[in-house]
Amino acid sequence: MIDFGLSEEQKELQRLAREFALKEIRPHAEEHDRAGKFPREIAKKAFEIGLLNLNIPQNYNGAGLKVLDEVIIAEELSYGCSGISTALAANNLATAPVIIAGNEEQKKKYLGMMTKELTFASYAVTEPQAGSDVAGIQTSAKLVGDEYIINGSKQWITGASEAKWFYVLAKTDPSKGHKGMSAFIVDANTPGVKVGKKEDMMGQRASATHAVIFEEVKIPKLNILGVEGEGFKIAMKAFDHTRPGIAANAVGVARAAMEHAIDYSKTRTSFGVPIAMHQGINFMISDMACEIEAARLLAWQAAWAMDNNIRNTKLAAFAKRFAADTAMKVATDAVQIFGGYGYSNEYPVAKLMRDAKIFQIYEGTSQIQRLIIAKEIFLR
Ligand SMILES: Cc1cc2nc3c(=O)[nH]c(=O)nc-3n(C[C@H](O)[C@H](O)[C@H](O)COP(=O)(O)OP(=O)(O)OC[C@H]3O[C@@H](n4cnc5c(N)ncnc54)[C@H](O)[C@@H]3O)c2cc1C
């Protein structure tokens, strides 16, 4: 039986997140965007009312929510401001590999750390020369005695300046391609870990994105996740957990852009009528509403599959690809509906358009989602 209704608990989570987004996020969005300020104070409030680290199991004092619950919350927080919600959600991507592949000791230490007090962690996979082509990374990890020595550079790491630890993908056996990659937890205060300058980004400017450099970084060999050679698999599996949430974040941005476009189109007049009366405008809004609904349903479906132990790689790629492209299209059309005012930073849709673009790039570009979908269609 198919049921698209939310349970009472889910409606309550949605209400809580929406209220938080409207009261605590949106009023501060512009300031954080302009200054590129990391939203530590907002994160603290989100942590206190239980809107952070939703994916961490209850054994480690987390909320232990289902992916579908996380997705419902993600849409609302991003509806407030996706730069701020991305800063809050970086933890989800860093902790997912630990939840998937960590042993009990690692989970107790690193997941426990996240729930004890406000703590940030980052997922460090991308490198200056390798983003989409993850197997092309150069960072190496060599086992010497009881320690791994890590050398290399990571690029575009969300929340890096705030992170207490990093999930790091490195090559332990470069001759084996993606099967020679391993996953590690690296404490940020380990000698040799350096966080580079903050990137001056087009959108989502509150999310503190930096390069991270590892120079002769010695970590205990116990900090490997799983066994040598499993890193690529773990890194990719993490995306099956997190892409439904990223899709929902994109839906939140699209919904905000559509609402602004609807309000504006009712008050702005041309040729003697509100512009909403022109079919050229109301068809644009009609398409926005339809595509946002479809994107949301894809995100929910991908989350539902994960919650029901159904392999969701293709569904998560459907959701991420469609929702990202929808957010970009809706935000661009919202700017169009605002006309010249849409191009001004004094009106909200310009920021939404800048923010929307990144959904087509991070956590796998829209092209890479298409590759994943094609691979699932032709090779499975
Ligand atoms: C704001 C921001 C935050 C980020 N946060 C993180 C983070 O926290 N952790 C992390 O590890 N990474 C992070 N990233 C990195 C992000 O995941 C990569 O930028 C992304 O995967 C693309 O990699 P790239 O930039 O190297 O582009 P490239 O891989 O060089 O791609 C360039 C272009 O070529 C296209 N392309 C590449 N290969 C193919 C192909 N086979 N077929 C068709 N088209 C192709 C791509 O789609 C893209 O359009 C972040 C990036 C940004 C901008």
The boundaries of the domain holding residue 355 are 232-379
Residues annotated as catalytic are 363
pLDDT tens for the chain, 380 residues long, are 678 899 999 999 999 999 999 999 999 999 999 999 999 999 999 999 999 999 999 999 999 999 999 999 999 999 999 999 999 999 999 999 999 999 999 999 999 999 999 999 999 999 999 999 999 999 999 999 999 999 999 999 999 999 999 999 999 999 999 999 999 999 999 999 999 999 999 999 999 999 999 999 999 999 999 999 999 999 999 999 999 999 999 999 999 999 999 999 999 999 999 999 999 999 999 999 999 999 999 999 999 999 999 999 999 999 999 999 999 999 999 999 999 999 999 999 999 999 999 999 999 999 999 999 999 999 98
Q: Which atom of ligand 1 is nearest to the CA of 86?
A: 3
**Does residue 3 sit within a domain?**
no
- Ligand 1 contact via 157 beta carbon (within 6 Å): yes
Question: Does residue 213 share a domain with residue 318?
Answer: no
Handedness of CA 134, 137, 141, 142 (dihedral sign): positive
Assigned domain for 1 exists: no
Answer whether residue 239 is part of any domain: yes
Collapsed DSSP state (helix, strand, coil) of residue 129: coil
Tell me, in angstroms, the distance from the centre of ligand 1 to residue 126's CA: 8
How close is the Cα of 361 to the center of ligand 1, in Å? 6
Predicted TM-score (pTM) of this structure: 0.97
Q: Is 126 close to ligand 1, i.e. is its CB under 6 Å away?
A: yes
**Is 96 in the same domain as 131?**
no
Question: How many structural domains does the chain have?
Answer: 3
Residue 376, both tokens = 């699932």
Q: What span, in angstroms and rounded, lies between the C-alpha atoms of 214 and 199? A: 18
CATH code of residue 344: 1.20.140.10
203 lines ligand 1 (CB under 6 A): no
Residue 125 included in any domain: yes
What span, in angstroms and rounded, lies between the C-alpha atoms of 246 and 242?
6
* Cβ neighbourhood burial of 279 (10 Å; 0-12, 13-18, 19+): exposed
